[in-house]
Structure 1
């Protein structure tokens, strides 16, 4: 009996997975059927994403007017340190980043916490009102802000009428107030966008955690800082990274509200790239170098944020 069983086991077919061994994934990589399905998508990605990235990297090693360029190697990088307009645009971009991103994240957290209250009336209306700015046209709302914050606009008229100020504020013609206007504009637009992420994440937190905290006598403020914020850390990290990248690429609001003025006080890196490519004498090689500065800082800041948010 035992000999017949052993003969049957020896004659049984081998497991195909064991037979393939480590060569299974190798053969699947060269499977023509799989590449037939994904080949078109891979070709489009290579054509419209990988090739432009590599071409812009090669272009950043050249300099010249228009299409007449010469290879300068790392000469464009050396030029960056001696370019006062680039240094001004870089400092302006980081001022917007350091002030606006934390303020927007904190405001989004506060609003989402308030709008997550179960007994709040008209919650849906408030959520829609705060989220609505992020789906409006960039150009339309920028022109609206430019009109509102003009010297004789509705903002100055309202402040004068209420007696808060005695003289109109030069929102668009003073370097300090121009920065304030840009910060107010992008905060107004993108706060609701981040709020939706926090609100959806808060609604997925188990309610029993808050009930247990209330039974232990933990107040609402401590619940927010010791329960809500720690559980929202992955979402906070996501919104912070995306807001950082978006602020480093800030262009539309500056272009439509202040055009980078006054005296380049609101000039950003993205607008400087636009000026180098289309407004000044075109120097596409130097513009490509400035664009890689944005890529560099976006990568560094994202890595730092991931490092800081890492669990101990």
Structure 2
């Protein structure tokens, strides 16, 4: 048998790498590009889940622009994003800094303790906090009643306190997860940098801003972007604990999509809200990537 021509053999070698990476792109197209395209098409239709979707163009988006419930959901989602970025992320960094202290005993025990909320089922978390924050029989009000004589606070029924309660659950559940990332980053900062800062007479705050923060910048950027995306798509905590109430005070965009699709069978309208959420999250994520220089080596 004669060997294949050199030209054909060369082409095969050139195409070999593409054959190895082709499965990724096939799966990416099937499970990402196709669903996104289908969602965009569905957002321009009126469909109740059965029959043929009726094309309505941009009417769904025009209705969203006038929908006060959607505006409320956007505002609530923004509040939870701010809680995540300016409360959860800094708290995780401070805890990681404390756990990274030299000579700290039972460090592994603290790590496990902070990480446990992340592995618990959202159903269990919702049940526990519903019992703790119940107005009449909750443990929190019982303790307040015993210590201060006041224990009638409606933690889940007051519009402001309901947001605070959901925000606290976010803090309790996610801070340990983010702490793991920060702790790994802190342990990767060379010890020599801290020793040099100490020799130069830098205090704790100066060392933190001049050595620690620059050393963990890539991980910080990753945590900020992923926290923003997760908080923007928040669903479990408000859905299970408050049901979006009282009224619509804890309604998020993800819950708005769920209600439109499965409560009112407005699948096209729900898809339009999902497309708006996708565009907003994608645009702001790209902006954060540029501001935080993610993926850049210089």
Q: What TM-score do the two structures reach when normalised by structure 2?
A: 0.89
Structure 1 match to 2:36: 53
1:73 maps to 2:41: no
Give 1:229-244 correspondences, 5 Å limit.
229-244=213-228
139, 144, 164: which one aligns with 2:123: 139
Structure 2 match to 1:88: 72
Aligned mates of 2:232, 2:187 — CA distance in 1: 31
1:156 maps to 2:141: yes
253, 259, 262: which one aligns with 1:275: 259
Whether contact under 8 Å (2:84, 2:227) holds in the other structure is: no
Structure 2 match to 1:295: 278
Q: How many positions carry a matched residue from both structures? A: 287
Structure 2 match to 1:120: 104
Aligned mates of 1:305, 1:43 — CA distance in 2: 29
Once the 2 structures are TM-superposed, how far is the Cα of residue 25 of structure 1 from its aligned partner? Answer: 8.0
Cα shift readout 1:25-44 (whole Å, capped 9, x = no counterpart): 89734x5x953x55555444
116 and 47 in structure 1: CA distance in 2 versus 1, 3 angstrom threshold:
same
Aligned mates of 2:97, 2:230 — CA distance in 1: 24
Structure 2 match to 1:179: 163
SS in 1 for 2:278: helix
Cα shift readout 1:5-56 (whole Å, capped 9, x = no counterpart): xxxxxxxxxxx9xx99xxx789734x5x953x55555444433332212111
Cα shift readout 1:186-232 (whole Å, capped 9, x = no counterpart): 11111011110010011011001101111111112221122101211
SS in 2 for 1:121: coil
Aligned mates of 2:230, 2:282 — CA distance in 1: 13
Q: Which has the larger radius of gyration?
A: 1
SS in 2 for 1:65: coil
39 and 299 in structure 1: CA distance in 2 versus 1, 3 angstrom threshold:
closer
Cα shift readout 1:58-82 (whole Å, capped 9, x = no counterpart): 1111114333431111111111111
SS in 1 for 2:188: coil
Q: What TM-score do the two structures reach when normalised by structure 1?
A: 0.85
Q: Which moved more, 1:40-49 or 1:264-273?
A: 40-49
Unaligned runs of 5+ in 1: 1-15
Structure 2 match to 1:8: none
1:28 maps to 2:11: no
Cα shift readout 1:117-162 (whole Å, capped 9, x = no counterpart): 0111211111111111111111111221111111121111122223
**What's the Cα RMSD here?**
2.3
